[in-house]
Amino acid sequence: MAPGGSGGTKKTAKEVFDEIGGIIQQKAKENAVPYQNDLKGDLLKVKFSNRGTVSTEDACLLNYTKDTNVTEGYGKENPCYGRQGVRFSDTKGAECYWNRIKGNDKNNEAAACAPFRKLHMCDRNLEEIKPHQITSTHNLLLDVLLAAKHEGKLLVEKHKEYITENPDSQICTMLARSFADIGDIIRGKDLFLGHQQRKRKLEGNLRNIFKNIHDHLTDAKANSYYKNDNDRNYYKLREDWWTANRDQVWKAITCDAAVEDTYSKYLGDRTTTFSNEKCGHDEGIVPTNLDYVPQYLRWFEEWAED
């Protein structure tokens, strides 16, 4: 982190969320420590079913046409395939329709709403993976990094247009919001069901993928520990997987951030600290804790800001 500077006397909602999320994140990190080595992904250890390997260990250089587990073809290995190019809008609103948001009631007006940015996230490749193709944490990490990289790239491109009319909007905050949504998808906490509830397919895929990862854990203690996920959703395993790999996902989603882009945190006592360049891309730590704040609260804050 870069040195702090003087700022306002009040925290924003985002800064409050970051502070609360930091407490939860620290606890999650402690819980994941015993089995982190089993869950930490490594691009150099990716092995495809045809015995091929990835072309690079740098997430920013991954090529979705060959560095992917997706074999469906027809462009569906592209994380942004079929997604709408517009990611920010002053005229189009959030998605609140009851059958597209998990937990919303048909007759309840006080419902959760997915912000416009969330509606067309670049995660198509994750929807197209066949669960049997993923037997290691390394292979899963590959496609999660691909999704993060292309989500970040599109956000950076579209934010340059959006900021002309919204100069206070911060790209690092936008990246942090999508980063947190990716974390919710991985951990089975995503509330957005999508058009025709297509996200249910993604969640089903992830359940089966994490079953495969569990079944291939080489450490007997780790296998036994996560076997207690009796509901077969593998929430505990998924939570710890995210904790072990979130630093790599942040690095991927910030690949296209500019040198001058920084992520800010209010420390209190009129002091704000800033990440290093490119939203802290090369710091080795994740500057945001928004991924440990409940999704509906983050969405509400984002919707109110927009």
Tens of pLDDT, residues 94-129: 666 666 787 665 555 556 788 888 888 999 999 999
188 or 31, greater pLDDT: 188
Q: What is the pLDDT of residues 207-233, one digit of tens each?
A: 999 999 998 888 888 888 887 666 789
Burial of 217 (0-12, 13-18, 19+ CB in 10 A): buried
Tell me the β-bridge partners of 266: 272
The answer to whether the beta carbons of residues 304 and 287 sit under 8 Å apart is no
Beta bridge partners of 114: 95
Here the tokens at position 95 are: 């998605």
Q: How many C-beta atoms surround the C-beta of residue 260 within 10 A?
A: 8
Instruction: For residue 131, give the amino acid letter.
Output: P
Which tokens go with 32?
């994941």
Q: At residue 276, what are phi and psi to the nearest 5 degrees?
A: -75, -175
Question: Structure tokens of 216?
Answer: 């291939």
Is the model's pLDDT at 176 over the cut of 90?
Answer: yes
The whole model's pTM is what?
Answer: 0.89
Q: What is the DSSP letter of 196?
A: G
**Would the pLDDT of 188 be above 50?**
yes
Domain 2-305: top CATH class? mainly alpha
- pLDDT at residue number 30: 83
Q: pLDDT band at residue 9, thresholds of 50, 70 and 90?
A: low
Question: Stretch 85-93: mean pLDDT, rounded?
Answer: 65
Which range, 17-31, 128-142, 214-228, is most confident?
128-142
> How many angstroms separate the CA atoms of 124 and 193, rounded?
14
Given a cut of 70, whether residue 1 has pLDDT beyond it is no
